[in-house]
Structure 1
């Protein structure tokens, strides 16, 4: 069952919105944590732990929104790739 063009576009837009919301929260929260860290315990920068691990999540959201192929595990994707390979073999 193939998705309509609109459904695919909606999913892509939703992923992009999720990425930007997560990025905004990441910047704001980590800036506040860095200030708290600097004021309370400047000798140990514990803020690097949430920056690093939450950063991995932000990176994953970015990859899903802008880099990774839509529905790479779907039957529709498989059929498109088979058609592409058949076109290559014909030439």
Structure 2
């Protein structure tokens, strides 16, 4: 998380950071998701950010992110932004694929609109995804999860 915060403070994309550090974009993505990084990767990143290696080395687990200057609110905000990005990527994929299928349908068989069925099926999935990201329906949201965890642990709210 500290890597992501530093990267965003510098205004760099993951690709730019990868180019500057000599690390693959995939490795940077893994590190930003909280997976452990090799010493060589951390040394390269510390050199790019011009910080002491020990600051990045101590960040290997999620428990130390709060001590590195990243608040719980920032972590939640970053998670929400990731959810939004995944939803908008899903929406874009839907529009491109269904649009292409629609054109294909109109060119090959304009008298039979079969494109409606994949559009409806995928559309339902997209709506469910939107409801989870934007908390449209209270079912299966954060509050529901919290209640279920407390119930499973035998504690009442």
The answer to whether TM tops 0.5 is yes
More helix by share: 1
* Residue 10 of structure 1, CA deviation: 2.1
Per-residue deviation, residues 44-82 of structure 1 (Å, max 9, x unmatched): 11101110011011111111111253363136x85xxx3
User: Paired residue for 1:21?
Assistant: 89
User: Paired residue for 1:73?
Assistant: 145
User: How does the TM-score come out when normalised to structure 2?
Assistant: 0.43
SS at match of 1:72: helix
CA RMSD in angstroms, aligned pairs only:
2.4
SS at match of 1:73: helix
Q: How many aligned residue pairs are there?
A: 77
Equivalent-residue separation in structure 2 for 1:63 and 1:7 (angstroms):
21
Does residue 44 in structure 1 map to residue 112 in structure 2? yes
Equivalent-residue separation in structure 2 for 1:29 and 1:45 (angstroms):
15
Structure 1: where are the runs of 5+ without partners?
A: 83-91
User: How does the TM-score come out when normalised to structure 1?
Assistant: 0.70
Please tell me whether Structure 1 or Structure 2 has the larger radius of gyration of its CA atoms.
Answer: 2
Q: 2:100 aligns with which of 17, 28, 32?
A: 32
Contact 1:37 1:45 (8 Å CA) reproduced: yes
